[in-house]
Amino acid sequence: MESLIAAVTTALSLLEWRSIVDILVVGLIVYWLLTLIQGTTAIMVVRGIVTLLIVGTILAYVLNLTMLNWLLRNSIPALIVVIPILFQPELRRALEQIGRAGGLLPHSPTLTASGHVVDVIAIAARRLSERRWGALIVLERDTGLGEYVETGVPIDGALSVELVLNVFFPNSPLHDGAVIVQGERLGAAGCVLPLADVHASPVHYGTRHRAAIGITEVADAIAVVVSEETGRISIANNGHLVTNLDEGKLRKVLGILYRPSGNDQLPWNRGRNGNGSSDAGPKGRGDPKVDEPKAKV
């Protein structure tokens, strides 16, 4: 430890203005690279690698572990080979941004959680369940789902019951994929999600339920599923699936997992009817009447 402190002190004493500029340039490059992977699951991989290297380096120097120190020194060339493989989508996005004028400063939308989202999802799930329309709705939280949004059709529309019902109408070209909700907007529809490996489970899951479990295994998202065969409403979180929910139960669970902002009223504190579900629709309106979409002939 003393040798490490001495080395740091010596390096600081040799700093000049060119070294400071060099550090600032490298810092800006690292910051820009981090903004590229922010909002994707790659940020978790970076955190894991950095944590592993920091902990390993501290242990190697403090406990004077020769073998571990040698392994860390020789892992740098391996990381140079592994990084392009692990972060291929992010590196491609970086090169595309460099090639576009003004693309060096990406803008990421501010995502907010509110009771309006809980209202819309709960009412839409109940309507879909009544009609036996299969659906898969993913709510983005801290971990961004940018790479999965890119697999679908961009919509970026204000979230509403009508929009969700029209997307999952059986004759709609987007009804087989997943819908990803970002903040209070419907980001994309027809998205492809990773499937969970549930072959060892005694319960048989369809593709929608496996996709719901799979996305919650790789991100901190919440997935709401409506079964096309039974009309049952389920919710997946952290790789676990809870089934047999109604509108009231779904509203309460979403209110706990997907908390509204401080200025919004909690959904279960609003008016309820006799069966425990709220009659209030989004933003205080009544449950709006939606005309069922007509199939194209």
Residue with the bigger pLDDT between 165 and 284: it is 165
Least confident interval from 101-105, 158-162, 278-282:
278-282
**pLDDT of 142 over the 70 cut:** yes
When the pLDDT of each residue in the chain is averaged and rounded to a whole number, the result is 77
Fold for domain 115-284? Answer: YojJ-like (1 (3.40.1700)
**Domain spans, the chain:** 2-99, 115-284
pLDDT (tens digit per residue) in 34-70 = 776 766 667 777 778 888 888 888 888 888 888 888 8
Distance of alpha carbon 256 from alpha carbon 260, whole angstroms: 9
Arithmetic mean of pLDDT, 160-171 = 92
Percent of the chain having pLDDT more than 90?
A: 31
Q: Above 70 in pLDDT, residue 194?
A: yes
**Cα(16)–Cα(149) distance, rounded to whole angstroms?**
46
Predicted pLDDT of residue 259: 61
111: phi then psi, degrees, rounded to nearest 5:
-100, 135
Per-residue confidence (pLDDT) for residue 222, from 0 to 100: 94
pLDDT of residue 22: 84
- Residue 151 pLDDT greater than 70, yes or no: yes
Task: Specify whether the CB–CB gap between 188 and 173 falls below 8 A.
Answer: no
Round to whole Å and give the CA distance between 37 and 53.
19
Over residues 161-180, the mean pLDDT reads 91
Q: How far apart are CA 198 and CA 210, in angstroms?
A: 7
Q: Is the model more confident about 289 or about 257?
A: 257
Under the phi-then-psi rule, with left for phi > 0, alpha for psi from -120 to 50, and beta for the rest, what region is 257? alpha
pLDDT, tens digit, for every residue of 211-238? 999 999 888 899 999 999 999 999 999 8
